[in-house]
Amino acid sequence: RFAAQVADHEVRVVRASLSREGAETEVLSLLSPVNGVVLRVFTESAGPVQAGQRLLEIGDPASLEVVVDVLTTEAVAIEVGDPVELVRWGGGESLHGRVRVREPSAFTTRSALGVEEQRVSVVIELLDPPQQRAGLADGYRVEARIEVDAVDDVLLVPASALFREGDGWAVYTMREGTAHKVLVELGLENPDFAEVRSGLAEG
């Protein structure tokens, strides 16, 4: 029975190749294994295809995930479960997600300035319902802010007010109309602000 099935398949292959010469044409229907929409078409023209050849890419836009390429020096602080804010995706409100996977292997890429960088892919699952991110689709660009650490009720100074003093940091304070240099001990930092643990008081 198996040999008969193989022979039948070979006959269909020959008929398909002969259809180019005006012979009998056979249409083979292929069913998708999943529900979704066509994202990409890899084989656009009629013709023979090999077993296992990609024809279409099908996906479900309602179950998107985000893949972010992060510098390895920053990725070491990222852990599974870290909260994520997605901004500049085209919608009004920012979206929320959570780190699902930090890939175990990095890759080399080239920056816009031509510098080779080591990056690692971080996979983020979206937490907002599909209607809140309507319009966001496969391959779209987003910017991700991954929260690797957080503290509440701390004293902050702008990062632009800080400058190096030996091995530490310092700022200028105004006292009685005169600027005074003050050494400070910093905690957590981001591009905009730094946590001050000692050296300054509120006000």
Give the per-residue pLDDT at 21.
59
> How many Cα neighbours within 13 Å face the side chain of 51?
3
Segments of 10-159 assigned E as strands: 37-41, 56-59, 65-71, 83-87, 95-102, 107-110, 116-126, 143-146, 155-158
Give the per-residue pLDDT at 72.
95
DSSP H helices in 23-135: 72-75
pLDDT in tens, 158-197: 999 999 999 999 999 998 999 999 999 999 998 899 999 9
Give the per-residue pLDDT at 130.
87
DSSP structure class, residue 69: E
pLDDT in tens, 2-32: 888 888 888 887 777 776 555 455 666 777 8
Read off the pTM.
0.67
Mean pLDDT of 52-75: 90
Is the predicted pLDDT of residue 135 greater than 90, yes or no? Answer: no
Name the token pair of 76. Answer: 């070491």
Question: Which DSSP helix (H) or strand (E) runs through 106?
Answer: none
> Would you place residue 77 in the very low, low, confident or very high pLDDT band (cuts 50, 70, 90)?
very high
DSSP structure class, residue 94: P
Q: 126 with 71: CB under 8 angstroms?
A: no
Q: 201 with 171: CB under 8 angstroms?
A: no
Give the per-residue pLDDT at 24.
52
Give the per-residue pLDDT at 128.
92
Give the per-residue pLDDT at 13.
77
